[in-house]
């Protein structure tokens, strides 16, 4: 794997042996200096104590929070975002305010807005128009803390319309054209792109300048690097040589325990020099 890119742990899929609020400390104990999460609450609008407990867990662990999702609905139940879902648009917007609060406290600036599945009670064109409005709203809100909204193609959800890097970039371009927002970028999850059949090498070559965050897992299986067939090392090197200097999120399902699944990454390459004095 690349020797100069920085790696962080997605604590919504790794260290699930532990309660969520104990995972940042576990990541720190494993040698990592940064973490990311999906939406870390069980509802779109958490109460103040839940937000405070999350912020404290990250801060007390001494790690940086480098990525967070907006509320995405019931992920285990199959939801994949609220951005384009008319009945839940208000929840999405309320979650934006929560993330701005968290981002401001923890100096997090990368926020993933899962686009949302197609729904039966709205036309695709209506959903897409709503998505543009909501993404522009989110981009304006997080700009106040230097944040960027990320758009991610994902796999495994038949009604999710953004499958390829080109799909996400098209949305990014429309938001920029309509609203003037420049703080919106591609989340390149190399696993999702590969299993969706994208030409990942071509996507990197075409869009590396639009990438705001990277995530990895191997395929088949979505386990740790080295368990599958993806040329992750080559692709990360291509991203780096193309100018990407951001984080690489470990977003995979451990094939055994989380600790054992990290053996592929030497401990001395898990820590980046950071200021985490929030």
- 236: closest CA among 224, 247, 221? 247
Q: Please provide the size of the chain in residues.
A: 278
CA-CA distance, 199 to 169, in Å (whole number)?
Answer: 15
Told to judge if 152 belongs to the known catalytic residues of this protein, a careful annotator would answer yes
The vertex-58 CA angle with 56 and 59, nearest 5°, equals: 60
- Eight-class DSSP state of 71: P
Radius of gyration over alpha carbons of the chain, in Å?
17
Catalytic residue (one of 94, 140, 251, 268): 251
User: Distance between CA 191 and CA 223 in Å, rounded?
Assistant: 10
Q: How many CB atoms lie within 10 A of CB 29?
A: 11
d(CA 216, CA 239): 12
Which residue is catalytic, options 36, 152, 224, 240?
152
Closest CA to 56 of 21, 27, 14: 21
d(CA 63, CA 186): 24
Q: Alpha-carbon distance 32 to 25, whole Å? A: 9
How far is residue 152's CA from residue 168's CA, in Å, rounded to a whole number? 6
Q: Does residue 22 carry a catalytic annotation?
A: no
Q: Which two tokens stand for residue 170?
A: 């098209």
| Nearest of 134, 3, 46 to residue 37 by alpha carbon | 46
Active centre residues (catalytic): 152, 251
């Amino acid at each position: 794997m690349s020797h100069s890119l920085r790696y962080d742990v997605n604590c919504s899929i790794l260290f699930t042996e532990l309660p969520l609020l104990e995972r940042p400390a576990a990541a720190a104990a494993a040698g990592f200096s940064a973490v990311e999460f999906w939406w870390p609450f069980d509802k779109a609008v958490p109460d103040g104590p839940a937000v405070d407990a999350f912020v404290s867990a990250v801060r007390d662990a001494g790690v940086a929070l480098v990525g967070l999702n907006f509320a995405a609905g019931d992920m285990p139940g199959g939801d994949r975002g609220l951005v384009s879902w008319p009945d839940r648009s208000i929840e999405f917007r309320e979650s934006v305010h929560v993330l701005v609060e968290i981002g401001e406290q923890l100096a997090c600036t990368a926020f993933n807005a899962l686009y949302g599945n197609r729904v039966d009670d709205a036309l695709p064109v209506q959903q897409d128009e709503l998505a543009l409005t909501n993404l522009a709203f989110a981009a304006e809100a997080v700009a106040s803390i230097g944040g960027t909204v990320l758009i991610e193609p994902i796999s495994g959800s038949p009604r999710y319309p953004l499958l390829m890097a080109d799909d996400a970039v098209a949305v990014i371009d429309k938001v920029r054209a309509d609203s003037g927002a420049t703080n919106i970028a591609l989340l390149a999850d190399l696993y999702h792109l590969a299993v969706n059949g994208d030409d990942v090498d071509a996507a990197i070559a075409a869009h590396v300048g639009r990438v705001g965050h990277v995530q990895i897992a191997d395929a088949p299986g979505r386990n740790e690097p080295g368990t599958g067939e993806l040329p992750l090392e080559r692709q990360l090197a291509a991203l780096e040589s193309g100018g990407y200097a951001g984080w690489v999120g470990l977003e995979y399902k451990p094939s055994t325990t989380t600790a054992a699944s990290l053996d592929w990454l030497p401990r001395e390459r898990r820590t980046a020099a950071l200021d985490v004095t929030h």
